[in-house]
Amino acid sequence: MRPDHPIVLITGASAGFGEATARLLASRGCHLILGARRLERVQALAAELIAAHGIRAFACAVDTRDTASVEAFVKAGAEALGGLHGVVANAGLASGLHKVWEIPDADLEAMLRTNVEGVVKTIRAALPFVRQSGWGHIFFIGSTAGHQAYENGGVYCASKHGIKALAHTLRLELCGEPIRVTSVDPGMAETEFALVRLGDPAKAKALYQGLQPLAGADVAECIRWAFELPEHINIDELIVKCRDQASHTMAKVNRKA
Ligand SMILES: NC(=O)c1ccc[n+]([C@@H]2O[C@H](COP(=O)([O-])OP(=O)(O)OC[C@H]3O[C@@H](n4cnc5c(N)ncnc54)[C@H](OP(=O)(O)O)[C@@H]3O)[C@@H](O)[C@H]2O)c1
C-alpha cells in the first residue's frame, strides 16, 4: 500500500526539475532525500522545506557518476528517514553542441556517464531499499531527445534514447512487484539546462525568446500526478511539451517576433 507520507529520493535536486519536484512533493507531505553535487543548495532547500511543510528531509552531496558516492548517498538517506519509496533519477545534463565526429571526450563522457550510468547507479543502489519498504515508484527523466535525434545533439540524444530503453526494461523486470516505473520525457524547459550546455547566459536566454517554454514546476506537476494516481495505474511514458513546441526537436516552434 502507498504510505501516507512516502519517502522520495531526488537526484539533481539543486536546480531545475529536481528542485521543483522537491518543492511540490514536500507540499504534498512527502519526506525527501535530496542530492546533487552542490551541497549548499540541497542543504538550504531541505531546511526551507522542513520549515515550510513540517516534513523530514535529508540532504547530501552526491556525484551520480561515482558508484561509491551514489551508494553512500542512498544508504545514508534511506537510513536517516527509515525507508525509501520514490526515486526520481533526474540528475543529467547536455554538454555542448557537436557533430558526432567532432565531440570532445570530456563532453562525451560527461553526458554518457551522468545521463546513462548515473541513472543506472542511482536505481541499482535504491532498489533494495524500495523493495524493503514494500511499495515504490521509480521515475526516469527522459527527454523528447530520446524520441527523435537532432543535429549537433547526437550524444545527448543517444543518452536519452538509452534511458528510454532502460525505463522500458525496468518496467518489464519489475512487473509483479509493487513498484511502478514511469519515464517523464519533457521538451523545451527553462531551467539551468541551457546555461550548462552552452555556458553563456545570453545564448541560453535566446533559446526561449518569443515562446513560453515549460518551467521546472510543470514537469514536477507531471511527476506528482503520476505518483499520486491510484496504485493499479502505471504511467509508462509521458511526453510533455509546451504548447509552442509542436515537434520533438525545435523544427516546429511558435516563436513570436
Ligand atoms: N531543461 C530541459 O529542456 C530538459 C528537457 C528534457 C529533459 N531534461 C532532463 O531533465 C533533467 C534535469 O535537467 P534540468 O532541466 O532540471 O537541468 P538543471 O537545471 O541544469 O538541473 C540539473 C541537475 O542535475 C544535477 N547534476 C548534474 N550532474 C550531476 C552529477 N554528476 N551528480 C549529481 N547531480 C548532478 C545538477 O546539480 P549539481 O550541478 O549541483 O550537481 C542539477 O541539480 C536532466 O536529466 C535533463 O537531461 C531537461
Nearest to 138, CA basis, from 172, 176, 88 = 88
Percent of the chain with pLDDT over 90: 99
Q: How confident is the model at residue 57, as a pLDDT? A: 98
Question: Residue 32 pLDDT more than 90?
Answer: yes
Per-residue pLDDT, 241: 98
Task: Compute, in angstroms, the gap from residue 1 CA to the centroid of ligand 1.
Answer: 31
Stretch 206-215: mean pLDDT: 97
Give the contacts of 117 (CB within 8 A, at least 6 positions apart): 64, 65
Residues classed as catalytic: 156
Task: Please determine, for residue 166, whether its predicted confidence score (pLDDT) is greater than 90.
Answer: yes
Rounded average pLDDT over 117-123: 99
DSSP state of 101: G
CATH number for the region 7-240 comes to 3.40.50.720
Residue 257 confidence (pLDDT)? 85
Q: Is the dihedral of CA 250, 251, 254, 257 positive or negative?
A: positive
What is the residue-averaged pLDDT of the chain? 98
Q: Which residues contact 80 (CB under 8 A, 6 or more apart)?
A: 33, 58
Q: Which residues line ligand 1 (CB under 6 A)?
A: 11-12, 14-18, 36-38, 62-65, 90-93, 114-115, 118, 141, 143, 186, 188-189, 191-193, 196, 216
Q: Please give the helix or strand (H or E) that residue 40 lies within, else none.
A: helix 39-53
Question: What is the C-alpha to C-alpha distance for residues 186 and 141, in angstroms, rounded to an integer?
Answer: 8
Residue nearest to atom 25 of ligand 1 (CA): 12
Instruction: Let me know: does 6 contact 12? Beta carbons within 8 Å.
Output: no
State the pLDDT at residue 1: 85
CA pair distance 59, 128, nearest whole angstrom: 20
Residues 222-237 pLDDT 10s = 999 999 999 999 999 9
For 51-99, the pLDDT digits (tens) are: 999 999 999 999 999 999 999 999 999 999 999 999 999 999 999 999 9
Distance between Cα 36 and ligand 1 center (Å): 9
Q: How confident is the model at residue 142 (pLDDT cuts 50, 70, 90)?
A: very high
